[in-house]
Amino acid sequence: MTISDFAIVLLDIEGTASPIAFVHEIMFSFVRRELRSFLERNLDDPNSALLWDSLAKDVGVENVEALSKQMNASPIEALQRTVERLMDADTKATGLKELQGRIWKAGFESGELKAQVFDDVPRALERWTVAGIDVRIYSSGSTAAQQLVFGHTEFGDLRRRLSGYYDTTFGSKRDAESYRRIAKNIGRPEESILFLSDVVAELDAAHSAGMATGLMLRPGNAPVDGDHIHWMFESFDEIG
């Protein structure tokens, strides 16, 4: 396999482009720290009304009013407890991911947050795009959060090397149909796309959709059973 075999490289973020520890220990901790003040500042903002209802729907409740009533709590208290519950379960829910993206925005723009990516990432993005490869992101984090990460890395703004961003609005990362939707959106056949992730279930879904797949064995990633069908890489330097 060589990178020239593909027109598109589709990348996961956590455990693939960025260390898992950065996401869990820094980014998630920042959300927990800032959550209450964010809710207090934005609860009555009309532009946030759909977000609150989306968070309620993440736990199977129609809207924030019903959530508050069900939990016998104020809207702020109900939302805070709901977000913390979703985060404790590491739920890949659309409302939660949008909320996290909004909170991270302030952190990245203030300079308090600086995204960690593996050293080989900027080298690979440059190498692939110079070779004419279209590089895109598919992450459970919102597309806004994805752009914040790659726009504020320790290596500077890497977004000029990226052509597109996809999140759970295209479907679950463990559902083959999500990868077919992405291929259709790009306008390329599935077999022309190489998807890289640290999660075998995601790679299985992409492979079922017809994509080529590579398992990233990054430092800090969970051990993986060797019984799978995917190429394995420790670094993007090994790919083209």
Model pTM score: 0.86
For residues 85, 88, 90 and 93, what is the CA-based torsion angle, rounded to 10 degrees?
A: 10
Predicted pLDDT of residue 3: 86
Q: Where are the domains of the chain?
A: 3-18+115-238, 24-110
User: Is the domain covering 3-18+115-238 a CATH 3.40.50.1000 domain?
Assistant: yes
pLDDT tens digits, residue range 139-192? 998 899 999 999 999 999 999 999 999 999 999 999 999 999 999 999 999 999
**Residue 45, Cβ density class (10 Å: 0-12 exposed, 13-18 middle, ≥19 buried):** exposed
Q: What pLDDT is attached to residue 31?
A: 96
Work out the pLDDT band at 86, boundaries 50, 70, 90: very high
Question: pLDDT for 55-64, tens place per residue?
Answer: 999 999 999 9
Provide long-range contacts, Cβ within 8 A and 24+ apart, for 69-75. Answer: 75/43
* Nearest residue to 162 (alpha-carbon basis) of 1, 17, 3, 2: 17
Here the tokens at position 23 are 């996401």
Tell me the per-residue pLDDT of 189-229, one tens digit each, with 9 for 90 and over: 999 999 999 999 999 999 999 999 999 999 999 988 778 89
- Quickly name the fold that domain 24-110 has: 1.10.720
